[in-house]
Structure 1
């Protein structure tokens, strides 16, 4: 277990949520490795809390697919598998394509400006080297498109998929060589949405997700 694990204190959140976010970030950053055991006593001692918020946080991690409980062994960090990645990104591809299709019809000038703002924020974040900020900026860019689609049910479905997608997004964004392509794709998506070129933007979005799947698949294979 990493020696750098420290509680990210937030006075506005219940302790279980603080513990959850601390462990979640450690998993996504790779500080807690796939297959590493999440032992309640050790984590409680490390973070200076009781076992109860640790246990509750582990349940929350399981709901996101970041942890699993093995009989007679206990909880551990979930391993990424090609099958899980394929299942998640297949769904994301379909939902993202639907989102840009609807956004082409419904996006407003104000939303175009907001999308441009998020695009520039993503570009700036890639220069800072903070994976968490880069991932958050990428999420914000796509969230703007989702809301521009004007379909609340679709947004709810995408929100439900968010955390399962996030782990693969972070793995992809750890590769600095991907940034120029991502920036170019974001710019193209913005341009095509502004011009309401539906079929073209759907194709760009499809390639956008497929590239992520290809890179993450290789990362998973390298870790096996």
Structure 2
């Protein structure tokens, strides 16, 4: 295995979380390929952490849906197929369409849409600097904020449990397709629909975005 950038030695503070972040980045960037085996001895040496700390990090990544268990308990980077991509985006569409419809009818709608536009401004800035990690995080921040703003704990919990799968799906077809899903103008269409105060239009806009995004990834 090559010695790329994400999996380097870590600082001594909060090693587990740093390991989670490094491994997550390596997986979502394609540095660790889908279906590749995660060998504890190799990874702990590269990250310069104990195998116990590494196991804790890998357990969290299993919970996030980035890592799966194979034969004899071996861990592998998760591989998504086209059906799983469509399933993920179908669930996202249901959750985020509900969030959009709720926000559209809230008294603080203007405050929320202003905050969503701020996140999109950051997404646009990341596009100009061409930092893929920043663009991914800005995209996730936008959709997370939409769900948070619905003030429905069950909705947010469901979306959060899906976040690892969302990260995997972003890089499913490679960088070129992934950045297409982070188009600022397409996201602004959702914000504009929410801003009208029409819950049906807001929900429809989210569903249309998710349908397009899934189709863009799987072709």
Q: Aligned partners of 1:78 and 1:153: how far apart in 2?
A: 26
Equivalent in the alignment of 2:95? 95
Residues 80 and 179 from structure 1, CA distance in 2 versus in 1: closer, same or farther, beyond 3 angstroms? closer
Task: Give the gaps of 5 or more residues in structure 2.
Answer: none
Give the superposition deviation at 1:156: 2.3
Shift in alpha-carbon separation, 1:181–1:161, aligned structure 2, 3 A:
closer
Cα shift readout 1:89-148 (whole Å, capped 9, x = no counterpart): 221111111111111101432222212211211111111111111011112222232233
Query: Which stretches of structure 1, 4 residues or longer, exceed 6 Å deviation after superposition?
Result: none
Partner residue in 2 for 1:108: 109
Matched, 1:143 2:156: no
> For the structure 1 residues 69 and 147, does the alpha-carbon distance in structure 2 shift closer, same or farther, using more than 3 Å as the test?
closer
Confirm or deny: 8 A CA contact 1:8 1:19 kept in the other structure: yes
Contact 2:113–2:195 (8 Å) recurs in 1: yes
For 2:12 and 2:169, locate their aligned partners in 1 and report how far apart those are by CA, in whole Å.
26
Corresponding position of 1:199: 200
- CA 1:201–1:182 in 2, change beyond 3 Å: closer, same or farther? farther
1:105 touches 1:196 (CA, 8 Å); kept in 2?
A: yes
- The verdict on how the C-alpha distance between 1:100 and 1:126 changes in structure 2, with shifts beyond 3 A counting, is same
Aligned to 2:216: 215
> Structure 1 residue 41: deviation in Å?
0.9
Which has the bigger relative contact order, CA under 8 A and spacing at least 6? 2
**Which residue matches 1:27?**
27
Is the Cα contact below 8 Å between 2:105 and 2:197 reproduced in 1? yes
Structure 1 unmatched ranges of 5 or more? 219-224
SS at match of 1:76: strand
